[in-house]
């Protein structure tokens, strides 16, 4: 790839990223007082994180059954308010169990 083209694309991506980050500061100069809008903004980070994580969970193992088992075990363990490490390890153990089970049964 030509270095000039590379740096043009790099500058374009940096500009778009900068514009996205600076737009809220330009358009929202006053403090937000609307209760609905404040509650909406408080849920945005969780929604974006879930939208980025969920497809990765289903495609991480290459096997939909083990991915679903890990997802379901993670949801159940998180429902009981266990820590992040416990949730991650239990999900990994569930995926490993299903992978081993499928290898020996099928």
For residue 42, is it within any domain? no
- Which residues, at least 6 apart from 86, have a Cβ–Cβ distance to it below 8 Å? 77
For residue 78, is it within any domain? yes
For residue 104, is it within any domain? yes
For residue 3, is it within any domain? no
- 43-91 pLDDT, tens per residue? 999 999 999 999 999 999 989 999 999 999 999 999 999 999 999 999 9
- 48-57 pLDDT, tens per residue? 999 999 999 9
For residue 51, is it within any domain? no
For residue 103, is it within any domain? yes
For residue 88, is it within any domain? yes
Structural element, H or E, at residue 66: helix 64-79
Give the range of the structural domain holding residue 85, as residue numbers without chain letter.
Answer: 61-106
If one counts the domains in the chain, the total is 1
Residue showing tokens 């939909």: 64
- On whether the pTM is more than 0.85, the answer is no
């Amino acid at each position: 790839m030509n270095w000039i083209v590379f740096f043009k694309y790099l500058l374009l991506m940096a500009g778009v990223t900068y514009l996205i980050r600076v737009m809220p500061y330009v358009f929202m100069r006053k403090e937000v007082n609307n209760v609905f809008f404040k509650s909406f903004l408080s849920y945005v980070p969780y929604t974006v994180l879930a939208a980025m994580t969920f497809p990765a969970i289903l495609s991480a193992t290459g096997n939909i059954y083990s991915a679903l088992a890990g997802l379901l075990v993670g949801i159940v363990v998180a429902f009981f308010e266990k820590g992040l490490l416990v949730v991650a390890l239990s999900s990994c153990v569930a995926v490993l169990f299903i992978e081993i089970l499928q290898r020996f049964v099928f």
